[in-house]
A and B are shown apart, each in its own frame.
Chain A
Amino acid sequence: MGAPSTPSNSKEKATRDSFGEALRDLGKEFSKIVVLDADLSVSTKSVLFAKEFPNRFFQMGIAESNMVGTAAGLSFSGLIPFCCSFGAFVAGRYETIRVSVGYSKANVKIVGTHSGLGIGDDGYTQMGLEDINVMRGLPGITIINPSDDITTRSAVRWAVTHEGPVYLRLTRQKLPSLHKATDFQCGRGIILKEGKDIALLGTGSTVNECLKASEKLPQLNPWIIDIHTIKPIDRTLIKTLARNCRIILTAEDHNIVGGLGTAVAEVLSEEGWNGKLVRLGVQDTYGESGSPDELYEKYGFSSNKIAQKLLSLIG
C-alpha cells in the first residue's frame, strides 16, 4: 500500500469525489486502468478520468449487465477495469456479477456510488441499501465502504494493485475528514478512539455519526471504530472488542440484513460473546425521499439517535 494520490485539501468531501480524483490521478501511473460507466459518469465522478483519458473510458449507455460483463472481458485481456454506476443499479446485476466476475475471479473493480439513505431526495429506487448484502454472498469479492476522503483514495489505490474483484461503495453526500494518510489497510478496521465497555462501529457515512454520538456522551467513553472493509471482516479487532465490551453497537446506512451488523454478529456469536449487540441501520424496510439528515433521524442512525440508543441501553 502506497500513499494516497494527492492530499485532501477541503474539510468535507463526498467519497465519490475522492474516488473520481484518485482514479484520474492513478490513471497516469497505471496505464492498464480502464473505466466503464453506464450513463452516470457525471454522478459517479468517473467523468474526471474520462476527460483525462478519453481513449481508456467506455461509455456503455444505460446497460449495466453488459457493462459488468464487458469489464470482465477487458480484465481477461490484461486490463484493470473499473465499472461505475449507482450501487443500487450495479449490484442489481447480480447474476452477471456472480458468474462473469465472482466465479470467474475476474480482476474487475465494481464501483457503486449513491449508497444508502444519504442520497436524500431522489428516494428509494436510487439508494444502494442492499448492495453490501448481495455482494457479501459472493466468495472472493472484497467489499470496501470508506468513511472519508483519505481512506477512499487509499482504497482506490489498493483496488488497482489488488488482483481480484472488489466492490467499492461510495457516498453522494459530503463527509468530514477523519483519518490520516497511513490509516487504511484493507481488511483492518481503524480504531478512532479506544474506550471502555462500549463500542460503536460504523462504516462509510455512519462512522462520523458514531463519533458525534460519543461526543454527546463524554461520560460513556465508548470505542469508536471504522469498519471500512466489510469483507473480509476484521475478526481480530472484533474479538478484541468482544473481550473489552459488554455493549457493541453497529450503525450503517444500509439494511441491517446482510450488512455491517450482520457481519459483526457472525463473528461475535462464533466467538461465544455474551454481551448485547445492537444493529442500527435501515430496519429491513425500503427507503424514501427526504433530506439526508431527516432520513438518518427517522431511520434511527443519526448521531442523536445513536446517543439516545446508547443511553437507553445503559439504563
Chain B
Amino acid sequence: MGSLESIKPPMLDTKLPQRLPPEKLKEIAKQCRIDILEMLEKAGSGHPGGSLSAIDIIVALFFHEMKSNPSDPMWEDRDRFILSKGHGVPALYAVLAERGVIPKSELATLRRINSRIQGHPDRVLLPVVEASTGSLGQGLSIAQGIALGFKMQNKNSKVFCLMGDGETQEGQVWETALSAPKFKLNNLVVFIDNNNGQIDGHVDEVMNLQPLADKWRAFRWAVQEINGHDFSQIIGALETARNETEKPTLIIAKTIKGKGVSFMENSIGWHGVAPNKEQLDQALTEVKGGVK
C-alpha cells in the first residue's frame, strides 16, 4: 500500500454545495415523500418502508452537503452518493427529480418495461445513480474504491454511502469495514439507515447487530449516532465528518421505517408492498399535513 497522505490543496470550486437550512430541507423532503408514495402506488410494487426512512438523509446530502451540478450531472468533480440499499431507490429517484437531474414525469415509469428508472438502481441505464445496487452488501466496497481512486488522483471530491441496517449482516460489509480505515479514507462518509426492520422481521431478532456503534468503533471508524429524521442532527454529523483528518465516518442514523405515514411506521409489512389508491390518498393527506 502506498502513501495517500499527499493531497494537493483544494481547487477553487464554483459548484458549491447548496447548504440549504433545515426548514428548507424539510419542505423538500415532504415533496419527495409525496413523490415516493405516488410512484410506488403507480408502479404497484416497491419498497416504501425503507424509502421513507432514508429520504431525509438523502435530501440533506443532495441539498445541503454534496458538490453537484444539475445542469451537468456527470461533472467530473462532483461528490458521489452510493445507495447501497438499492431497494430504497424511490427515495433517490425522488431527490434526483427534485434536484432537476431527471424529469419529474419520468417517476411514473418506475419499474416499467424500457424505463431508465429500474426497480433497483442501474448505472448503465441511468448513470446519475452512480452504482448498480440491490444485491446487498456491495455498495460500501464500491464507495471505498471511488474514495480510494479520488485520493490516489489527488481529487478532493467526497463519497457518501447509505446502507440499510439489515444489510450490514452481509460479510462483505465487514471486509470493507476493516479496509477503509487502513486506507485512511476521511473522504468517505457512510450512513446506516437504522430502522430496525428487514423482510423477515426486526433486525434485532433476525440477526442482532448490537452493539453496532461499538463494532464500527472497534474497526477504527469515526462513529456518530444521530436521529436520521432531524435535519440539524444530520447536518451536524456531516459537519463533524468534514473535519475528520484520517478516519472514515460512520453515522448510525436512528430512523423509523415508513416515516411520515402512520400506518406504515415501524410496520415490517410495509417493507416491500406498495400502497393502493385508497392507502395512497390517506398517506398523502398525512404527509401533506406535515411529518411529525
Write the residues of chain A forming the contact surface with B, with a CB cutoff of 8 angstroms: 34, 53-61, 63, 65-66, 68-79, 81, 95-96, 98-100, 103-105
Contact = CB atoms under 8 A, between A and B. Distances in A.
B113 interface: no
B1 A73 contact: no
A25 B46 CA distance: 50
B1 A59 contact: yes
Interface string B107-143: 0000000000000001110000011111101101111
Nearest to A98: B135
A79 B153 contact: yes
Q: Which 7 A-B pairs have the closest CB atoms?
A: A73-B145, A69-B141, A77-B149, A55-B2, A66-B175, A63-B175, A70-B145
B179 A77 contact: no
B47 to A, nearest CB: 18
B213 interface: no
B152 A63 contact: no
Contacts of A72: 131, 141-142, 145
B147 interface: yes
Given A72-B145, A95-B138, 4 more contacts: A53-B2, A69-B141, A73-B145, A105-B123
20 contacts: A53-B2, A57-B2, A61-B175, A63-B178, A65-B137, A66-B141, A66-B175, A70-B144, A70-B176, A72-B145, A73-B146, A74-B148, A76-B131, A76-B149, A77-B148, A77-B153, A81-B145, A96-B141, A99-B133, A105-B124
Given A56-B152, A105-B124, A68 B1 contact: no
Given A72-B141, A104-B131, A54 B2 contact: yes
B124 A73 contact: no
A225 B169 CA distance: 48
Contact of B148 (A53, A73, A100): A73
Interface residues of B, number: 37
A71 B145 contact: yes
A95 B170 CA distance: 12
Contact of B1 (A58, A65, A100, A104): A58
B172 A79 contact: no
B131 A65 contact: no
Contact of B142 (A69, A79, A95, A103): A69
A91 to B, nearest CB: 16
B174 to A, nearest CB: 9
Interface string B1-31: 1111000000000000000000000000000
Contacts of A98: 135
A104 B2 contact: no
Contacts of A99: 132-135, 138
B124 A65 contact: no
B179 A79 contact: no
Nearest to A69: B141
A73 B175 contact: no
B171 interface: yes
Contacts of B216: none
B152 A79 contact: yes
B148 to A, nearest CB: 6
Given A78-B153, A103-B124, A104-B123, A73 B141 contact: yes
